[in-house]
Amino acid sequence: TNLSMDTLAGYADRHPGDALYFHVLTNFTDLKPDGYISMLSERFPGRKIYVSGPLSKEITLDLPGLQILHSMNEVRMLKPGKA
């Protein structure tokens, strides 16, 4: 991703929330989607992680709080305060 983990952490510290959402379009340099999701889960414990996009089908993890959104309809169902 083009968003560094430190940038994301800085934003998350200033804008607390209970969930993170990523739409994964392209490959990661030196990292597979599972590795990135694992890093997110470790860096932001207790937050739900929602992932959609073409590369989400490569995620094989079964982590607490991780939800893979398989369709645009599932993405649309996410509403502020409902995560």
pLDDT in tens, 53-74: 988 898 999 999 999 999 989 9
Closest residue by Cα to residue 39 from 15, 63, 16: 63
Q: Give the tokens for residue 11.
A: 């934003």
Using the predicted structure, report yes or no on whether residue 3 has a pLDDT greater than 80.
no
CA 35 to chain CA centroid, Å, is 11
Q: Give the tokens for residue 26.
A: 């392209």
pTM above 0.95, yes or no: no
* Mean pLDDT, range 32-50, rounded to an integer: 90
